[in-house]
């Protein structure tokens, strides 16, 4: 009975090792995560308000300008179809 438990443990350990190796290989094949080149524009849009400007119309134009820049960035980097 001792031998059966040892064999099951060895098989279980081997299966686990193979599964971990496959997961590591697939992660390595994908390569490291690349930083989002458009994130600074998203951050700016998250933190800009028309009231930040002396004239609300100017603030609205600033937001629209950032939105256009973000759209151009997303197109350039293939985030939009």
Which tens digits make up the pLDDT trace of 38-69?
A: 999 999 999 998 888 999 899 999 999 999 99
CA distances from 79 to 41, 42, 46, 74 (A): 14, 13, 19, 5
Pick the more confident residue, 60 or 23: 60
* Closest C-alpha among 70, 72, 73 to residue 42: 70
Who's near 63: CB < 8 A, 6+ residues apart? 45, 48, 50
SS3 15: helix
CA distances from 64 to 9, 26, 30, 49, 71 (A): 62, 41, 36, 11, 11
Overall pTM > 0.85 = no
């Amino acid at each position: 009975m001792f031998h059966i438990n040892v064999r099951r443990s060895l098989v279980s350990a081997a299966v686990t090792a193979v599964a971990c190796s496959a997961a590591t290989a697939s992660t390595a094949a994908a390569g490291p995560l690349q930083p989002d080149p458009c994130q600074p524009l998203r951050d700016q849009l998250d933190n800009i308000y028309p009231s930040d400007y002396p004239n609300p119309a100017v603030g609205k134009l600033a937001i629209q300008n950032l939105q256009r820049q973000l759209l151009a960035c997303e197109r350039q980097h293939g985030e939009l179809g």
